[in-house]
Amino acid sequence: MIPWAKPVFAGREKEYVEDAFVSTRISGGHYIERFEREFAAFCGSPHGLAVSSGTSALYLALRALGLGPGDEVIVPGFTFVAPVNMILETGATPVYADVDPLTWCLDPVSAGGKVTRRTKAILPVHLYGNVCHMQGLLDLARSKNLCVVEDAAQAAFSSCQGRYAGTWGDMGCFSFHATKTIFMGEGGGVLTPNRSYYEKMLVLRDHGMRKDKRYWHDVRGYNFRLTNLQAAVGCAQLENVERIIHCRRKVYEWYCQYLNVIEGVTLQVFRPEVTPVVWTMAVRVDPRYFKGDRDFMMKALGRAGIETRPGFYPVSAMELYQASPLPVAEEIAARIICLPFYSDLSEEQIVLICEEIKKIRA
């Protein structure tokens, strides 16, 4: 079986986890502060906060903005649902915009058409390692006095015009789940240039407790803390991040080489100014060229020992979210297959995957 994703240990993970274990600092500890400092420095951000997940990172960022009932946040209709759910958790209303048919990311024109007097923020999602058209979205936000919170959970270390995803807006949120470019098993983070937002999130992350008066609470907060054991893994990953990025880019190059000759398979488009670090190898398939639709192809690849994932279902397809039709998102989502992707996937394995795709051709 070729798994869809696999954590690849890059160096000193075991050593650092054992060090944290022996120190008995398995909850709080120095690896947390080290990871926050080093991740923020690598990305060029003044402030970094480590939290329990990418989802909690999104919620803290939205809470730091003071969002609540009556507020609206523009979000793409084609995304993993975490940003939508966290907008709803604040009491605000998600307003769904369509995506670009080539990049599959939030379309600034569609987003611009969704702005009302109640709009308070835009939440672009950097999908599958791509980077949204941030200049267009920032221009829109500035013209309407809106905040921008980036969901960079799938795009750590991807960049646009030399600037990392997650560092364009007021805050950028990251996931360090086991499938991500760097991982801790679970875990997340927030980057921000704004000290006021950073300080608010520090308090909210730890039950809303004042830093200068233990067990005194001025706001209602949460336990969104990361553990020292998880951060130890993250620190080891960061030590080897350049090699990890290099390996993932090589895997992507191999996929492009072998997929581009298969008619009916289309790759996600990256604008010329984007330098991606791909999270997963998402491809769009045209069923006219194959023996069946996307789901048929996934089952066929599964029988051949190749694990895959579908594209995210658009929010407009799920009754829970009561979204209006989103034609581009719906057409794209129904045709995406996410192929195996991790940093030590070999060229031989990629050749095998592509040969199995060819066998499904009509």
Q: Confirm whether pTM is higher than 0.75.
A: yes
Q: Where are the domains of the chain?
A: 13-239, 241-359
DSSP 8-state secondary structure symbol assigned to residue 93: E
Report the phi/psi class of residue 349: left, alpha or beta, with left for phi > 0 and alpha for psi in -120 to 50.
Answer: alpha
Distances, alpha carbon 101 to alpha carbons 76, 122, 133, 254, 330, in Å: 12, 19, 13, 24, 10
pLDDT at site 9: 93
Per-residue pLDDT of the chain (362 residues; tens, 9 = 90+): 999 999 999 799 999 999 999 999 889 899 999 999 999 999 999 999 999 999 999 999 999 999 999 999 999 999 999 999 999 999 999 999 999 999 999 999 999 999 999 999 999 999 999 999 999 999 999 999 999 999 999 999 999 999 999 999 999 999 999 999 999 999 999 999 999 999 999 999 999 999 888 999 999 999 999 999 999 999 999 999 999 999 999 999 999 999 999 999 999 999 999 999 999 999 999 999 999 999 999 999 999 999 999 999 999 999 999 999 999 999 999 999 999 999 999 999 999 999 999 999 98
8 Å CB contact between 148 and 141:
yes
Can you name the residues that pair with 73 across neighbouring β-strands? 94, 121
Q: Name 294's Cβ contacts closer than 8 Å, sequence gap at least 6.
A: 285, 287, 310, 334, 335, 336, 337
pLDDT at site 10: 77
pLDDT at site 154: 99
pLDDT at site 299: 98
Question: Any idea which fold 241-359 has?
Answer: Aspartate Aminotransferase, domain 1 (3.90.1150)
pLDDT at site 133: 98
Chain center to CA of 291: 32
Determine which helix (DSSP H) or strand (DSSP E) holds 196, and give its type and residue range. Answer: helix 195-205
The domain over range 13-239 is classified in CATH as 3.20.20.140: no
